[in-house]
Amino acid sequence: ELKVEQNPLFLSMQEGKNYTIYCNYSTTSDRLYWYRQDPGKSLESLFVLLSNGAVKQEGRLMASLDTKARLSTLHITAAVHDLSATYFCAVAGGSNYKLTFGKGTLLTVNP
């Protein structure tokens, strides 16, 4: 059974600082997704990473995928308050269409 672990689960940052969220998964996959969820809201797609070594950047967020290590990272650069949200990674295993989600990382950016 595919397991997805995120850490940390809670992250309190100061504005302007950098930090990284880690997503480890237990079985082979070359498809990994990052989503953002604001309180009481839906999930917003951030990145889709489809191959080993994939790196994608949008604004202050950069995601990467290492399929050999079964690890993805979401790096936050110079955090701002607007980035406060819960971030989920999700992995699709094999040819299965279902996504297995991590528990999420609650990010709070303090002024």
Instruction: Output the CA angle 50-54-59, nearest 5 degrees.
Output: 110
What 3-state DSSP class applies to 30?
coil
How far, CA to CA in Å, does 6 sit from each of 3, 15, 16, 89, 104?
10, 22, 23, 7, 6
The contact mask relative to other proteins for 44-83 (x = CB under 8 A, - = no) is xx--x-x---------------------------------
Give CA–CA dist 8/27, Å, rounded.
Answer: 20
Cα-flanking dihedrals φ and ψ of residue 110, to 5°? -100, 145
Nearer to other proteins, 24 or 77 (CB): 24
Shortest distance, CB of residue 42 to other proteins, whole angstroms?
5
Which stretch in 16-24, 59-67, 73-81, 100-108 sits in contact with other proteins by CB under 8 A?
Answer: 100-108
Per CB under 8 A, 2 contacts other proteins: no
Q: Is 83 helix (H, G, I), strand (E, B) or coil?
A: helix
Q: Does residue 12 touch other proteins according to CB under 8 A?
A: no
The nearer residue to other proteins, 79 or 100, going by C-beta atoms, is 100
Q: Which residues bind other proteins (CB under 8 A)?
A: 31, 33, 35, 41-45, 48, 50, 88, 90, 92, 95-104
